[in-house]
Structure 1
Amino acid sequence: MPDTTQPSPAIGPRHVAIIMDGNGRWAQARNRPRLFGHQAGARRVREVVEACPELGIKYLTVFAFSTENWKRTQVEVAGLMSLFRRYIIKEARNLTKAGVRVRFIGDRVRLDSKLTELMDTLEVATQHNDLVHLTIALNYGGRDEVARATKRLARDVAEGRLRPEDVDEETLPKYLDTHVLPDPDLVIRTSGEARISNFLLWQSAYSEYEFIDTLWPDFTSAELERLCRNFGSRDRRFGAVPA
């Protein structure tokens, strides 16, 4: 039986973004290689996606690989890229049948062609789904996204498609990777770190944040529900004051 004394998930966040941190530490605590933790973390994504409809979450964005993650060892980076390919192949049918629409954000130029082909195929296969919109940030960085968006905007100005005086804070978001998505209501970071690590810098200007100690492979749908209930009890004023 649901706890009716708490705020209903229906008034919770519509868009949740998650910085999935702690895979490596989770594996090391078990005397296993870091990639073992990343594999466990990938399986955790499925449980979270499946929990979204009941919690009223329409949009879920997960931070899978940042522009800074290339600094990791070559072995770990190669293992992660292989894991992303396997994840797409393994989960494609489940995601399609479950009504999940998948999008990828980030700079694809540095990714290998096999991976980008799989990404493109999954996006096309799920493009008509609407139960949950899953966005995977892959080779993504907030500053890099804004820089790429600014270049596209500047090109439109230079070619006469946009007047400089018409550029305002409503204009730039149209050039971001997330231009078809609402801004996140709630951003969650696992593993006890209290920083945003270059994730959705523009979009999360008025997001609520939850920094929790749980390592990502241990994160459960029950914990997601608890955080959604916490969100439902917050007074979001967006810079205004109570009437």
Structure 2
Amino acid sequence: MNKPSYPHPVIAREGWPFLAGIVLVSIVVSVWSGLASIPFWLLSVFVLQFFRDPARVAPDGDLNVLSPADGRIVAVEEVRDTYANRDALKISVFMNVFNVHSNRSPVHGSVQAINYFAGQFFNAALDKASLENERNAMVILTPQGHTVTAVQVAGLVAKRILCYVKPGDQLYAGQRYGFIRFGSRVDVYLPPGSRPRVAIGDKVQATSTVLAELPDTPADPSE
């Protein structure tokens, strides 16, 4: 039986202070001038939609790699996964300010490592953002023995990466584990032999979209 990805309010808790603040300002300005309050109410609507966080159900499949974020595919390529020291297939999801920004685990497994790297704030849609922007890397080992790395990457206006897990934690596929504020990307590094199910330009949804399928057997750890 599939699990909902995260039992939580429809509006992400990370957004409650922002939403409360802008709504309060909108009300105060409305008392003074209804016309002047319009921009503030529009900003309130923007904050409301930015921090929406709908529950999702993961499709069946032990080898499925689920999208960790809502957005658009900007990379499907073979690269070096420096976080797990291996060759890998990288699939990148770019989130604009109109996408849901909560991040979900792409696979079921145990967290092996969490590493934060300070960096720049280039446009997250650019290739160099993966290696030069502020980022947080999570390495997961699946029950089948596959290593999957998910990297939260800050964007041009994203100034806060939030990650709520630590090494040793057990995650299920689609479980909410973090949040990035205001435009960003998530890179997923998969073992060689993984079969991509998306292409550049595709729109994806966290948890409900399958990015790829893992190989039937794990790669040799020495490779």
TM-score of Structure 1 vs Structure 2, range by shorter chain: under 0.3
Query: TM-score if structure 2 supplies the norm length?
Result: 0.24
Task: Determine which structure has the larger helix proportion and give its number.
Answer: 1
The TM-score normalised by the length of structure 1 is 0.23
Larger relative contact order (CA 8 Å, sep ≥ 6): 1
Structure with greater proportional strand content:
2
